[in-house]
Amino acid sequence: MTLKEHAHWINTLALSTDYVLRTGAFDEKGRGVTKDTTEEEAKAFALAWYNKAKAGKPERLVSASDDFTLILWEANKSKSKIRMTGHKQLVNHVVFSPDGRFIASASFDKSVKLWDGNTGKFLCNLYGHLGPVYQGAWSSDSRLLVSGSKDST
């Protein structure tokens, strides 16, 4: 499958289940694998957690580009779900919150924008950086977001 809707280079991609896939059978509250857990139990825990993260919905993928836009896709379809606009310069990084409810996008326009992770609807702007914003990261409980910028903050 080829995704061809951006007008320029794609800088970053994020998957709605990325956090769960990276952490496997371990969760943020220390549940999951212990020294007494069997391999089958660990697999079952990881699968249950993955299914919970999907919440009966298809996985979503978001791409961000030098064309100042983001595109929200359903991971199993080659047609986009929605084009997300609003940044005034290239979008350098995009990340889903661990619970998949939000998307944060970091841009060279010195802002971070928050989007609804299911619909792609714009929620709010986060300002404060004096230089291009390079990256963002969520806390494991999806309550906090940190961003890093060229301005050393």
- Break the chain into its structural domains and give their ranges: 10-16+59-149, 19-54
Distance CA 56, CA 14 (A): 19
Alpha-carbon distance values, 84 to 5, 94, 141, 149 (Å): 12, 12, 25, 22
Q: Is the pLDDT of residue 46 over 90?
A: no
pTM of the entire predicted model: 0.84
Distance CA 62, CA 74 (A): 9
Alpha-carbon distance values, 148 to 55, 84, 90, 98, 125 (Å): 31, 22, 16, 19, 15
Which tokens sit at 104?
A: 């944060």
**Helix/strand/coil for 13:** strand
> Which architecture does CATH list for 10-16+59-149?
6 Propeller (2.120)
Counting residues of the chain whose pLDDT is more than 70, the rounded percentage is 92
Which tokens sit at 109?
A: 């326009």
Distance CA 16, CA 102 (A): 9
Least confident range of 10-14, 25-29, 47-51, 96-100? 25-29
- Name 120's Cβ contacts closer than 8 Å, sequence gap at least 6: 62, 70, 72, 81, 82, 84, 103
Between residues 101 and 42, the one the model is more confident about: 101
